Amino acid sequence: MLLERYLESLGSDAIQKALGLDGPRPAIVRPTTDPKFGDFQINGAMPLGKELGKPPRELAQPIAEVLTGVDAIEKAEVAGPGFVNIHLATDWIASKLHEAARDAGRDGVPVVEEPSKIVVDFSSPNIAKQMHVGHLRSTIIGDALARILSFMGHEVVRDNHLGDWGTQFGLLIIGMREWGDEAALQADPIVELERVYKLASERAGNDQAFAEQARVELAKLQSGDTENRRLWEHFVEVSRGNLDAVYDELDVSFDLWLGESAYHDALPGVVEELLQRGIAREDEGAVCVFWEDVNDVPKALRKQKTPFIVQKKDGAFLYSTTDIATVLYRRDALHADRALYVVDNRQGLHFQQLFAVMKLLGVDMDLEHIGFGTVLGRDGKPLRTRDASGNVITLASLLEESKQRARQRIEEGIAEGRLRVRPEEMDEVSRVVGIGAVKYADLRQNRLSDYQFDWDKMISFQGNAGPYLQYAYARSASIFAKGGLDMEAAANATIALDAPAELALGKQLLRFSDVVYQAGATSQPHLICEHIYELARAFNGFYAECPVLDAEGASRESRLGLTALTARQIRRGLGLVGIGVVDRM
């Protein structure tokens, strides 16, 4: 059940009935800022004050009286200039939790009424290079959004738009012939490709003849030369193996791996259509969209002096051209309704221009740039992607360090008697906790914000950190293990919310559906992280104040049911942002 939508419906009906209006009026529902004033605030009287010529507080009073007679509402009272604060009825909350507990597959979260087909474009590393820490945010934010939207009932297509075409491959082809070591390529292909590319790039910068030869090899590749195509396919193949290893570690998967190369044959047609329709024109041999020439674009874009280049004067295409072809493919072949581009904020102008071009081409897909901020080091500056020696800090090495640091923290917890992990489970628990800590530290932030990468805060079993939430799940699961009970069977119990800590936990559990929908609608995974953190805090308060296994009769069954629903919601909520859990810790 979507709680706020339900309350909006109740509020709208109450406004119409209380004021004798001839039709429904909207009721704006928001959580109260302080629980002592109630659970939610309804604003419907204030907008009507001017229309009806009466003080909003005078209008709010009969609305509150009508709402008080509704089963879901225990008390409704007028506050401030004309708000209505409502307190939810305890028995009603308990009944809704019981319904959610019986819905083991979805925990009460409804499926969207009108599902869409949505392409989520994320990660997008370059072939022949290792993924570095700069790829982290796009990868895990995109994965979280894909999981959330899919769970809501949308048809989601996860697309990894690889950088697998362009100038670097001419350099790699000629470089492998000049300096390539087949044994090294077999032993560690990405390291060898990066070594060769660096040598070729440096040589091209100082040797025009070499640079021209690289361009010739690229042209041969793009024209279908058999040998160059074979080399390029080998580069892609060995890179995929390296990428797959990182994605497996992150538990990230894709439905499509359509890189820039997939759209190469369509690019001449894209440029020709832009020219024919007068959207682009030639200038000094290049083909560009000049925004001052175009109507029906945002004013800010019309003032943009930098053109949108789709073909350089040497005939080469750019990623702007590829992006246009990609949108057309997603419309015509995938029949997508929406496409989300999970790319950092610095690319905002590019996507503003791309989306404007697509509108001029008559594409009515919903296109959205899901931007995000920068990861900062402890010095407050952007996190370095290279170490002091100039070597790339790979994403694989970062994840490996996260596992080692998690293992160290777990061993400390075992020595202090706070944690219990069996030796044979140590590797898996360290992996789940370490990878989860890195993901949660990122995803708990509003994606538009920069955030500071801090190992000590990240891998912590206290405060707002991934291990704290995973420990809350393990603690709840351990209750059933200790009692020799089945968690799913316990979830079917009739729930009562007699103690204050039980009611506080129940109210937090009730908000899950709304949070999932808000996260999906706004592309903000941090909303789910915030909810799970508050849920874990509420559960720890409940755990401290309300005995579960030692309780008796109906209280014991009810508390077991609350614990089961809490465990499931923590597990599902973390799963929706791509974070795993363990049953014992």
pLDDT in tens, 289-338: 999 888 888 888 888 888 999 999 888 899 999 999 999 999 999 999 99
Residue 203 amino acid letter: R
Looking at residue 390, what is its pLDDT? 62
Residues 567-576 have a mean pLDDT of 98
Kindly indicate the confidence band of residue 388, based on its pLDDT and cuts at 50, 70 and 90.
Answer: low
User: In this model, does residue 573 exceed pLDDT 70?
Assistant: yes
Asked whether the predicted pLDDT for residue 581 surpasses 90, the reply is yes
Q: Is the pLDDT reported for residue 228 higher than 90?
A: yes
Q: Averaged over 529-537, what is the pLDDT?
A: 98
How does pLDDT run across 235-247, given as a tens digit for each residue? Answer: 999 889 889 999 9
Mean pLDDT of 10-31: 93
Amino acid of residue 139: T
Q: What are the distances in angstroms from CA 28 to CA 5, 437, 462?
A: 10, 37, 36
pLDDT given at position 60: 95
Q: Please state, in angstroms and as integers, the Cα–Cα distance from residue 377 to each residue in 137, 380, 381, 503, following that order.
A: 14, 5, 6, 41
**And the tokens for 356?**
């404007």
Q: Is the pLDDT of residue 59 over 90?
A: yes
Give me the pLDDT at residue 351, please: 96
The owner of tokens 């204030």 is 46
pLDDT for the residue 23: 86
Per-residue pLDDT, 389:
60
Mean pLDDT computed over every residue of the chain: 94
Mean pLDDT, residues 551-569: 96
pLDDT score, position 78 = 96
Checking if the pLDDT of 392 tops 70, the result is no
As a whole number, mean pLDDT of residues 550-566 equals 96
Residue 443 has pLDDT above 90, yes or no: yes
Q: What is the pLDDT of residue 64?
A: 96
**Residue 522 neighbours by CB distance under 10 Å:** 11
Q: Which residue has the higher pLDDT, 134 or 583?
A: 583
Share of residues in the chain with pLDDT > 70 (%): 99
CA 175, 179, 182, 188 torsion: positive or negative? Answer: negative
Using the predicted structure, report yes or no on whether residue 523 has a pLDDT greater than 70: yes
Q: What is the DSSP-derived secondary structure letter of residue 283?
A: E
SS3 248: helix
Per-residue model confidence as pLDDT tens digits over 450-499: 998 888 889 999 999 999 999 999 999 999 999 999 999 999 999 999 99
What is the mean pLDDT of the segment spanning 78-92? 96
Other Cβ atoms closer than 10 A to 487: 19
Q: How far apart are CA 453 and CA 285, in angstroms?
A: 46
The burial of 290, by beta-carbon neighbours within 10 Å (0-12 exposed, 13-18 middle, 19 or more buried), is given as: middle
Question: What pLDDT score was predicted for residue 182?
Answer: 83
| The pLDDT of residue 151 | 98
Does the structure show a pLDDT above 80 at 192? yes
Indicate the angle between helix axes 553-576 and 466-483, nearest 10 degrees.
140
Least confident of 37-41, 78-82, 314-318, 324-328: 314-318
Distance of CA 346 to the CA centre of its chain: 18
Beta strand 83-88 with 40-43: parallel, antiparallel or unpaired?
Answer: antiparallel
